[in-house]
Structure 1
Amino acid sequence: MLIKSLKLTNIRSYINETIEFPEGSVLLSGDVGSGKSSILLAIEFALFGIRRSGLPGSLLLRKGSSSGSVELRFSIGNNEVTVKRTLKKAKDDVQQDTGYTIINGLKAEGTAIELKSKLFDLLGYPKELLTKSKSLIYRYTVYTPQEEMKQILLEDEEQRLDILRKVFAIDKYKKIRDNSSVFIKQIKEKKKELDGRLIDLEPKKAEKAKQEKELSSLTAKLDNLHPELNKIKTELAKKKEELTKLEQWIKELNSLKKDLEINNSKINEKTLQLKKNIQNISELKTTLNAIKNKLEKFSPELSEEELETELNLKEKELSQTTQNKALLEEKLNALKTKLKEINKELEEKQNLTSELNEKDFLHKQLAVMVSNKKSILPKSEKTENALEEIKKKTRECEVKKWGSNEVIQNISSMEKCPTCYQNVPSEHKQRISANETKKLSELNSQLTALNIKSSQTNKELQTLKEQIGTIHTKEKELERVDETISSLTQRLKAITEKELLLSNLKQEETHHLLSLDTLNKTNLEQKTSQITLLKQKLKDAQEKKHLTSLLTDKNTLLATLTNEQETLKAETESLKEAIRDIERQLKEKEGIEEIYNTRKKELEAILTKEKDTEINIAALEKEKQGISNIIDSLTKEITIKLTYKNSLKKLNSLQHWLEEYFINLMNTIEKHVMLRLNREFNDLLINWFNILMESETLNIRLDDRFTPIIEQDGYEIGINNLSGGEKTSLALAYRLALNKVINELITGIKTKDIIVLDEPTDGFSSEQLDKVRTVLEQLKIKQVIIVSHESKIESFVENIIRVNKEENVSKISVS
């Protein structure tokens, strides 16, 4: 880059001036305060725009002017560039307006940032410097105010290193370390949080192992019981099959016994019948004689049919009446017994109803509690999410609080601005401290509110979890109440049916009592006498008829009995033969009943064993399911906590890697880079300082912190112990060495052909001024602009631009 011309309009002490800059060495000569430095500030403004902390618009715009501009023309490589920036006065400030660039005849307007971006591309400056308040590359390669150059020598070591890191474009390593430290702090906070979540991991694992052991024990018991149950069922099937066969045999045995009994009974009957027939035949003969004698005594006028008809009618009436009365009395007795039983059963209805009402009330209470589950579960999940959000906000506030404390601590100890190197006013410190203190107060209030909210949310979450646990208990209790209500309802239903039956029975009892009362009023004695008389008459008529019939029958019977005797004898012999056959079969089946009873007892024992085993298996299965549910719940919790543990392990590994390797690696890389730069810087510094001083007693070198170490007669002395000329020589040598190192380090920058030296000879002796000629010859830079009021310099520069100030207006003249 080579500057061709600079046009100033209402800039500081300039109203309207154009300055032409030739190549080679150029001296800006003029008295102190004539406006030389204004030219350098205008060039910097044209390239980079205003900076609120170092180059504000109010510092550039001429007092009393509403607008101003700077137009800089320069060549860079094969490009001819013109850039114009403008200023305008606002209400309380001077602001930068839009400007333009002309590159090889092509004009393009743009905002301040757009112009700066385009010029950075042209100058070859790194893009990451675009948003920074000033360009350190320009500051320490092209133009450095002399006092600012001396200031870097007197800075604290760390501040000087920070500046040099930025100048050498290696401050990224420190930023990486600082960011790593912040990141490590966040990792530690996250680890602390994860440690809190993992505090019950081992107890959960132990509980899971305990439950799994119990589950394994139950599974082993079940594995033993299932084969045993199958064995019992197999044995049971065999026993049932065996009993079925025995029952068939017993059935056959009973059938044989029955047949034997029947046959024995028949033989006895036949034998008795034979004896009886013999006796009957004898008696019949006697009876036949007696009947003949009796028949001779009865009158032939008796009408049996009429008497019988009348008697039957009377007897039927009496019998019906008697039967009705007996039946009614019997029914009444049965009804009384039934009523007594029902009344006894109805006595417990009140107790059952009371118990049912209690259970119904309890059912409603439990149902209401259980119904809250659907609303409580989402609320619990929402509360957990809210708690996580509160923790996140708390961590953010803690980080902001740490940042504010850091700002307050830094601003309280800051004497000079690290950006513009100007003294920081106490009002500015107080304003920043007040702002940060206000932020801290707000943050503390937020943290207090968040802590209160976190505590409340924790309590709410715990309450919700307790409610959910209570609901689980109530659900089980509700099931038991439902079963009880069902049982009570069935019993009350049966009692209600009994009440209806009771009502019907009472109506029936009333009806029977009325009927009985009606029967009691009937004259039974008269009817009985009439029937007795009729019976006697009928008896005589019947007896006659009977005797006549009997005579005939007895004769017939006598013949029949005689024939029957022969038949009975033949049948008796046949029955005896059948009995002998049955007794033979019974002997073959002797002892089957005892075997059957034994097998039946064995079957009952096996059935009892089967039932006990099935009950035991069902109980174990239920217990196993409960334990499985507990294990599943524990597994889910442990899985989540193991995820936390893995995250913690990764965080530990990451923290270890950052602390033990990465940060050390950044330190090592920076040291290697700084060491190489330090060697080059040191050689150049010694060379330029020896050219300017040529002192045998005064030597200089750089330590590893880029601090100049000055030795005089073998003893180290401080910079403040140097004379004014020696300090200036050191500052100029440091400036030139820094220029050379930066230009060689950052190969892409295109400002290597120009350097601006601001009052580089302040405090120089006449002999030292002569050394400046040697410096200019060795620089070998196409354009050197020197700002100085030393007249002797005019003798060894190629061009002189004189600056004069009259009535607060600067003018330019060239000689």
Structure 2
Amino acid sequence: MIIESLHMKNFKSHQDTNIEFDTGISIIIGGNGAGKSSILEAVSFALFKQYTSKRIEQLITIGQKRMSVEIQFTAHGRTYRVLRERTKTSSKAIMKIKEGGRFQSLVSGDRQVTMEVQNLLDMDGDLFLNAVYVRQGEIADLIERTSSEKKQMIGRLLGIDSLEKAWKNFKVILDGYNEKKIRLEGRIESFKDLDEEFKTKKDKKRELSLQIKDVNLKREENIIESDLLREKKEILDKRSLEFEKATTILKSKTDFLEQLEKTKKDLDNQLSEIILKEEEINQIKPRLKKLEVLKSLQDNIKELKDLQKDEKKLVKIRDDIERFRDILNENEEYYNDYSRLDDEINTLQYAKDQFEGSRVLIQQYTERKSKIEVKIRQALEKIDHVLEKSNQILDTEFDSVEEFQDHLSTSKPQLEAELMIASESIQELKRELSNLQVKRENLDKPIKELERVKELCPICKSTITPQKRDELITDYQAELENNHRSSEILKDKLKRIEGEKEKLDSQQSRIQSINLGILNEYLKSVDENRQEIKNIDSSLNDLQGKMVILEKIETDIAQNKSKLRDIKGNYEKYLTARGSLESLGDYEEQLASLDEIKLSIRKLKKKISILMEIAGDSVENLPGEIAYLEELSKTHQHLLGEVSQKDSLLRRIDENQSLIQETLEELKKVQKVVEDSKYNKESHERVKKEWELKKDELMDLSGQKQLLVGQLHQLSDSIQTIEEKLNSLREYETELKNLKDFLKLLNLIRDLYGKDGVQKDLRNLSRPLIEEKTRELFEKFNFEYSDVRLDEDYDVTIYGPRGESSLDMISGGEKIAVALALRLGITQVLSGGSLEMIMLDEPTIHLDAYRRQELIDLLKRMSIIPQMIIVTHDADLEDAADNIMKMEKEEGVSFLVES
């Protein structure tokens, strides 16, 4: 593919930019933000609708409603044109092919155009960018990066990183399905022994159905007997109603009286216990007075210990501050000297960096000068050879090209003038001979007429005499003889002039065989090379001056570093002391804090002394005494709580005694009613008991039936639930089987995407191809190396006169050549070996001055790729360019500067 033209309207910062591309090296140069990289993005957008902006609407120039990009290119011998337009809500795309001098529509629509371009170029957008688009810093990275980083970068170009990403993403998918598998297995495990339970419950259901049938029969028999007993009972119930009522009241009052007597006894016991606890409180209370004193003493002793620790700490800080101040005073001069020397070294080092490339450049310029001198000698030898050959041709003996050119500038016009005169003379003589020939023919005709018709004049046809005829014949023959003599004279003159012209033609042919253009080219080359040597000598003189400065700088740096080493220990002592002082705080503040603590200690000691006099012997086991008294205090509080119920208890005792008196009087009245009744309780109780037994039996049967029916319903529900679970279990088992099969498939696919799968196959397949292409390209740079090899990590090994060498062992220029060959080798492999065009974005970025110059020299010598488009801000690359396009930007609009 060769790009012929690109037209952008309202694309990013390009309002209306039209670029005509040619083969060879085209440089798009401009400052940062001038819109250079947008050109490469426009190519990608036009071909594949790929862009770097977050949203496609951001490609439209701010304030505009529509943008378009049109690209024209050749591929496989045919010319194509792609146009893409975009508004904020719609898009349009059309691809045309050139047929018979006119463009005919091929396909339309974004997707259709992209597919057609992919089929035509045999690559998609990502592969196109990786193949033909060399990003910023890629060439430098192939030199500077570690093996793993280079391998990762080449993997990205080959598309392996997307496989690795897919392999990692598969882990998330697998984890999700594995979690689902575990959940399913857990559910299936929870249904264990479900079949056995289902069978057992089915048997139990049949058994319950039989039991319900037996209970129904028994219940019908008991209903009849129960009805007879119920009628007899109802008669006796009416008689016993009053008796039972009185008896119930009597029993209730008797029970209540017993409860009141029991309550009286309990209340009396509680009152006795409270009296005992009051006596215990009176014994404990005096002993608790020392507790507050002892606790205050304990707190003050603890506070004293804390203050003494703080005092000790502050004394140490005070001593450390004084010690570090002494260290600062002792080493301040060394610190100032060290800082000054370090600043000087940094300044010198910066200056050294500015001159660092001088040595390499001197060597480079010296080698370049030697090569140019060889070229000059070769050109001068060729000039001498051509001059010698030219002298032989012209039979001259000129010693210089200038003399020879002066001679030719004089003789060549003179020779051309003589040739012109000779040619004109020849033409004139030939015209005269032609006229004589016509006259001779005109004279021959009347003589023949006179010989044939003797009586008539051949001119006027009048009758003539024989004498007149003879006279006419004689005159005509005399004229013929004069004509013949004149013709012979003219022929002799023509032959002589033609001979002279042949000599002149031969001389002109020899002059024309002399290629003055070659001589001028050789002379021009010599002049240019001599001028370049002058420039190199001038640069070398400048560089020699810089070398003197550089050597002086290096000497100064070495001397200053030696001084630094001598005082480094004192400098570090100063820094350590200063850092320690900063962490220790203000000296005066620390002294003030120390005085405050000492005052507090004195006050506390006085207070503790007073408390110890009050505490007496209890100080000997202060913690134990405090613990004992605190437990005693808790007991005292508990007793106080219990004693506080005494008043309430006394009120309850009085109230209980009143209730006892009232209940005794009511009992006397109820006993009289019972004695007056004539009810036969035994007979009634017997009937009642019989009916109750029958009723209970009937209720038992009803209860058994309800229980059995309930169990039957519950069992039916349970069986239905189990059936549903069994159905779910079968579904879960089917789902688990399918899931396990699917997981096997996913693991297989993931393994294919892994490092030992497609990634490894792709590396193993591409590495030999990349190695072969890299070797072919590297050989074109004419270095003295026989082979280039790539290992599995894409580390480069080259073989030359000194044997095997790694990338670190060769010169900077050779490194650049290897990196460029490797990157272009990758491009060749990705493009299927049919690379016609490549785009480089800031190829010199991250390269030092020497390597940048080497890359420029390599690009100058490159003719292996028909079309190379380079976007750069590096003006040095203009030396390598066949075509230069300068981009500028004003008021936010990028445009191509007219050259």
Fold conserved between structures, TM > 0.5: no
TM-score range, shorter chain: 0.3 to 0.5
TM-score (norm 1): 0.39
- Larger gyration radius, structure 1 or structure 2: 1
- TM-score (structure 2 length as normaliser): 0.36
